């Protein structure tokens, strides 16, 4: 949930905009904000890293999911914390990152990273069984942090890059080195 109007919504066709309701609120109060409604898919992308602890928000995500529905989480990968500072040649930061969960993220504010294993355990507490996980933005991150400029308007390169990223995202050891991971789980029956 984000506060305020979302400019991306304005760029969508009106029949899509009609299906969207924006509610401003704290994720830790999500169940109350949606008045107990449940949903076939509940997404939480790029939010957990800004919270001190992931458990309260994940508990809410699980409670807001319909039996048989999907919970989708995208967040920072604590196992790969050295990747960005090392590629940016910030060697002291890279060395320190092996034993810390927090760093100043790409948006310039402090962020905290998690692991697939830990969040999977938290999902299970909420009766959501982890289904699969993927690495996100592996090679494009490495190129970007090394100073290479990619051209997002080059559709041929974009499609070729996406094909490689998709394969890397679902295979070890590549996915384990991604700065961000995507974890999917399914809510059990009532």
Ligand X SMILES: C[S@@+](CC[C@H](N)C(=O)[O-])C[C@H]1O[C@@H](n2cnc3c(N)ncnc32)[C@H](O)[C@@H]1O
Is 1 among the residues that bind ligand X (CB under 6 A)? yes
Given 33, 38, 47, 102, the residue binding ligand X (CB under 6 A) = 47
Q: Do the Cβ atoms of 55 and 122 come closer than 8 Å?
A: yes
Q: What are phi and psi of 110, to 5 degrees?
A: -60, 140
Q: Is 27 in the site for ligand X (CB under 6 A)?
A: yes
In degrees and rounded to multiples of 5, residue 121 shows phi and psi of -65, -40
Check binding of 93 to ligand X (CB under 6 A).
no
Question: Of 6 and 118, which has the nearer Cβ to ligand X?
Answer: 6
Q: Which is nearer to ligand X, 6 or 129 (CB)?
A: 6
Contact between 31 and ligand X (CB under 6 A)?
no
Helix, strand, or coil (residue 114):
strand
H-type helices in 90-177, by residue range?
Answer: 91-97, 116-125, 138-145, 155-169
- Interface pick for ligand X out of 38, 39, 50, 94 (rule CB under 6 A): 50
Nearest residue (CB) to ligand X, 46 versus 188: 46
CB 62 within 8 A of CB 127: yes
Q: Answer yes or no whether residue 24 interacts with ligand X by CB under 6 A.
A: no
- Assess 2 for contact with ligand X (CB under 6 A): yes
Sheet containing strand 128-136, edge to edge, reads: 39-45, 65-76, 180-187, 128-136
Give the residues lining the site for ligand X (CB under 6 A). 1-3, 26-28, 45-47, 50-51
């Amino acid at each position: 949930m984000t506060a305020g109007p979302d400019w991306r919504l304005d760029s969508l066709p009106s029949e899509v905009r009609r299906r969207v309701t924006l509610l401003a609120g704290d994720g830790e109060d999500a169940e109350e904000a949606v008045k107990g409604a449940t949903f076939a898919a509940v997404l939480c992308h790029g939010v957990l890293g800004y919270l001190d602890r992931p458990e309260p928000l994940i508990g809410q995500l699980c409670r807001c999911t319909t039996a048989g529905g999907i919970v989708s989480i995208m967040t920072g990968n604590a196992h790969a914390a050295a990747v960005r500072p090392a590629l940016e040649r910030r060697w002291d930061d890279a060395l320190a990152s092996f034993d810390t969960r927090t760093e100043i993220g790409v948006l310039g504010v402090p962020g905290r990273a998690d692991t697939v294993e830990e969040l999977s355990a938290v999902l299970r507490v909420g009766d959501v069984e982890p289904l699969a996980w993927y690495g996100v933005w592996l090679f494009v991150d490495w190129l970007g942090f090394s100073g290479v400029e990619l051209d997002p308007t080059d559709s041929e390169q974009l499609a070729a890059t996406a094909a490689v990223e998709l394969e890397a995202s679902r295979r070890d050891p590549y996915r384990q080195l991604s700065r961000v991971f995507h974890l999917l789980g399914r809510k059990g029956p009532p």
